[in-house]
Amino acid sequence: MDVERLRYPIGLFEPVTNPTFAQRGEWIRDIEAIPEQVRLTVQSLTPEQLTTPYRPGGWTVQQVVHHMADNDMNAFIRFKRALTEECPLAGSYREDLWAQLDDYNVPVEISLVLMKAVHDRFAALLRSMRENEFERSFISQTHGSMSLNEAVQRYVWHGRHHLAQLLSLRERMGWNN
């Protein structure tokens, strides 16, 4: 299988320009569902399977789960800052280096609990936002000025993207039995 297809099993991010209230509702439901979907995907894996890269040269399953929790925390803070500050500069982080830190060796359960908590808070925040608040923005060091409309879409895509990587690995390895 093509390495790029393994890396981006759902394709690259493509934003919806003028999302509707209904689309946002769907994204919020996705945000609420992703932690349980990740849990179901990894809960029966052995320690050996958790240390298997999802693609050649890629992160292990365990690193992907911990990365997802790290990204969730960072995204939640970006949103809160954008809602309370005028176009703040969003902090970035070296995800490649974070994935090498020793806390990525803790059981995935710790990050699964963290993901669930952050996603629940994030969904509550998003549900409380007024339409005009989705136009607020922050400056991403990677993508430039980004509205919360686009940021919520990127956040959902990111979760789906990594979940698809894990599901694809399970399928290829025959771990679905």
Whole-Å CA distances, 9 to 13, 40, 51, 85, 160: 11, 19, 20, 35, 9
Task: Delimit the domains of the chain by residue range.
Answer: 20-173
Give the Cα separation of 9 and 29 in Å (integer): 21
Give the Cα separation of 69 and 24 in Å (integer): 22
Supply the CATH classification number for the domain 20-173.
Answer: 1.20.120.450
The phi and psi torsions of 144 (rounded to 5 degrees) equal 80, -155
According to DSSP, the residues that pair with 145 across neighbouring strands are 139
pLDDT tens track, the chain, 177 positions? 688 889 999 999 999 999 999 999 999 999 999 999 999 999 999 999 999 999 999 999 999 999 999 999 999 999 999 999 999 999 889 999 999 999 999 999 999 999 999 999 999 999 999 999 999 999 999 899 999 999 999 999 999 999 999 999 999 999 985
